[in-house]
Structure 1
């Protein structure tokens, strides 16, 4: 089957051919015809299957006829992250170059002035994240009553990020007779309920089992202590014919530290995470796409929808906490029919997390054996910990009670008892006793008051 068999216009076919594509992917072949027929659709597809073009291509032809109006976008695409929204915008620019279509990107992290200016001029396609769209809508800067087509992309990710209430609000503001397309990698009950509420008799398209992994990706798990992860990563980077790689970590601080460590060891590395503003994130992505850096350290903000050609490897420096994130992370490689390799580092404390991943993907992930140096050190680390109980006896420290056995301190009550009788004459000769007491006490050395605690504190404590 070719793209020409799907009913696309000649202008669009020329743009597709210029982009280097000749045959549609399964999701594209099954999605484009019903969308062109103006039907609602649910698309279940794993990442890297060409899902974005599956709705962008027919939308370009559908919107090719019509009139733009100020502040009233004709179509709306909702994306969970800024990176995904920017990627969809790139697709519209690439495939819609032969059509007179205006597009606006409405995302956080960038100035709102240019976005408002584009909306005021009228747009055919508005690509937005739910938060920024709701912000403008509540300010009265945008009207949704003219929207003819709605796309909810990465619906399960929307659920994870807490955007479902915003999406429900947005859907309630759109015309009831619109066309709605919903795409997701999985179909949890909340997403099914959303689809039942806002889609009308949708066409259901599924090209792979929900949350299944790409067969073009060779997967491995690496059993390694947490303190040996960096060394293991460097070993594989040097030995496994890595041309470009994305390294995912669970925490932003880990991403920063890992990128710094790789640079110190001579690797060309960049970083992208949620603490960076949007221009900085875009700049780092462009450096990676252009090949200026070969390794991109990333948090899960970049896990979904990041489409970079030629990524040969994906590393899960941390086993993902959520098993769905595993599928989306490793989906950054093995795209467009190419093959890729994915390595997941599993520390002892990750046993439950990797178990959940293997349960989701339908089987155990093959074990990758590290070269002798890292592996042997990892094994030797265990006996060292097991030997610690011997140190707990600490005979030297227990022998310190020598200070408590000093006889002089135990004998203190006797001198005090001797001083007690001397106070008896006070009633008869109060003045003389007061004068003699200090002298007598000093001469016979009977007074040996308590030693202040601070004098017995060791500097080692």
Structure 2
């Protein structure tokens, strides 16, 4: 079905149920004023359920997909709790752990916006920034410390930080922490904190390992689940295009041109593919930028700001770098690669179709990626609509394994012109004969495989066979060794 023929089905209108108000959640006047100035009146479901329990001092286990307002569900009550006293030097009163620098920056922005009428301080402890400046801020005392695990442990071990007065801990995006291998660091950080603390634990999914961590860190928590784990918003129109590997870039370019696109995020599974695809798009006249974890922090910030401001229309990125990116009015998401984990598909496409707007999420797949597509459909509970791109040969799922030696955008290595056969080597016995002192040593020659027997796919080889190392073929030294200079005047 061509893209232009897709019918967008909007959910039927229902009677508006009474919605709670922020003024009913027990927040103080300065915080209420900031919320109103930002144009918010009604909290999201996760906010409406979590804020009262956080204000009670309860541990909270929150499960909600991306784009549901998790950040405000803990920043708002934290501001309320912390507004009563002040912090001491190097002893933050609360700690928020984030898996990426971009997420940490987003949380810091929330504290600035919601706490503008309060005299509370916060600090960012993330990689790519001057540690000396971060230590200086901590020395003045901060109420909220927002950190990535690695930099936090580094500064703690250098003696620049004490966590004995940290009474409120937030572990955000726990599922991404698990994917990135941060769980040992999280366990170490939790061991540095006082056991008499309040812990807020948020995750987009609740895998068994996440449940185990929640049981380890939380005490009698209030569990809040606002939607079925890994569900796709009904405002997002999805589609899947199956093409051969060599046609993926061309199919993506046609999708970008034929879609009524304002801006888009394009996801790749590997960082090296992010760079290659971004350069290809720029070459074909698209306004694109790349974002992945290997780029310098300054480049990541400038690229993200250019995308937010509209200077760049396309952002090609990896999952890790895109975690926490919140772009208002994002019209499209493209999966250049189907994700290896089905949960990542939900996180990716959840960046469009927010705030009741219609979003578009299109994915590209090769014939050998049927298991990845089926895992996504099983997780989300509904099939992905098959699309056709005009001018691109459509493919079908294949039960055969992916051909080996095939590289993206190139030909199979099996079709390359074979290299010329190496020259035959002289017999080993002949090469070991002493050469004339006046004659130069014989030139080294490449050897042809020898002394091998083929038995189907197995080869039997005796000793070195025909692969004798070159240094063993050099002629034996026959001239006497010249004595060292200090031995020349010695007499017998």
Same fold (TM over 0.5): yes
Q: Does 1:301 align with 2:326?
A: no
1:288 counterpart SS class: helix
Cα distance in structure 1, aligned partners of 2:64 and 2:377: 19
CA contact (8 A) 2:92 2:143 kept: yes
Give 1:121's match in structure 2, choosing from 140, 143, 151: 140
Deviation at 1:337, TM superposition (A): 2.8
Q: Does 1:375 align with 2:375?
A: no
CA contact (8 A) 2:289 2:315 kept: yes
1:374 counterpart SS class: coil
Q: Does 1:287 align with 2:306?
A: yes
Which of 275-284 and 358-367 deviates more? 358-367
Q: Match of 2:258? A: 239
Give 2:122's match in structure 1, choosing from 103, 116, 130: 103
Q: Does 1:254 align with 2:273?
A: yes
Q: Does 1:2 align with 2:21?
A: yes
Cα distance in structure 1, aligned partners of 2:234 and 2:318: 24
- Aligned ranges for residues 62-461 of structure 1 at < 5 Å? 62-371=81-390, 373-375=391-393
Deviation at 1:18, TM superposition (A): 1.4
Q: Match of 2:13? A: none
> Which structure shows the bigger proportion of residues in helix conformation?
1
Q: Does 1:13 align with 2:38?
A: no
1:246 counterpart SS class: strand
Deviation at 1:336, TM superposition (A): 2.7
Q: Match of 1:459? A: none
Deviation track 1:185-228 (CA, whole Å, cap 9, x = no partner) reads 11122221221122111111001111222222111111111211
Cα distance in structure 1, aligned partners of 2:49 and 2:356: 18
Deviation track 1:24-51 (CA, whole Å, cap 9, x = no partner) reads 1111111111111111100000001111
Cα distance in structure 2, aligned partners of 1:149 and 1:35: 10
2:368 counterpart SS class: helix
Deviation track 1:381-425 (CA, whole Å, cap 9, x = no partner) reads xxxxxxxxxxxxxxxxxxxxxxxxxxxxxxxxxxxxxxxxxxxxx
Deviation track 1:162-196 (CA, whole Å, cap 9, x = no partner) reads 11111111111111111100000111222212211
Deviation at 1:279, TM superposition (A): 1.3
Deviation track 1:32-88 (CA, whole Å, cap 9, x = no partner) reads 111111111000000011111111111111111111100000000000111111110
Deviation at 1:242, TM superposition (A): 0.5
2:290 counterpart SS class: strand
Cα distance in structure 2, aligned partners of 1:78 and 1:270: 28
CA contact (8 A) 1:319 1:346 kept: yes
CA contact (8 A) 2:22 2:42 kept: yes
Deviation at 1:239, TM superposition (A): 1.5
Deviation at 1:304, TM superposition (A): 2.1
2:164 counterpart SS class: coil
CA contact (8 A) 1:216 1:338 kept: yes
CA contact (8 A) 1:145 1:175 kept: yes
CA contact (8 A) 1:110 1:279 kept: no
Cα distance in structure 1, aligned partners of 2:321 and 2:308: 13
1:22 counterpart SS class: coil
1:48 counterpart SS class: coil
Deviation track 1:130-178 (CA, whole Å, cap 9, x = no partner) reads 1111111112211110001000001111111111111111111111111
Q: Match of 1:385? A: none
Q: Gaps (5+ residues) in structure 1?
A: 380-453, 455-461
Deviation track 1:241-283 (CA, whole Å, cap 9, x = no partner) reads 1001000001112111211111122211111011201111011
Number of aligned residue pairs: give it: 379
Cα distance in structure 1, aligned partners of 2:217 and 2:287: 47
Query: Structure 1 length normalisation: TM-score?
Result: 0.80
Deviation at 1:290, TM superposition (A): 0.6
CA contact (8 A) 2:293 2:321 kept: no
Cα distance in structure 1, aligned partners of 2:86 and 2:274: 46
Cα distance in structure 2, aligned partners of 1:15 and 1:281: 29
CA contact (8 A) 2:50 2:73 kept: yes
Q: CA RMSD in A?
A: 1.6
Q: Gaps (5+ residues) in structure 2?
A: 1-19, 397-447, 449-492
2:315 counterpart SS class: strand
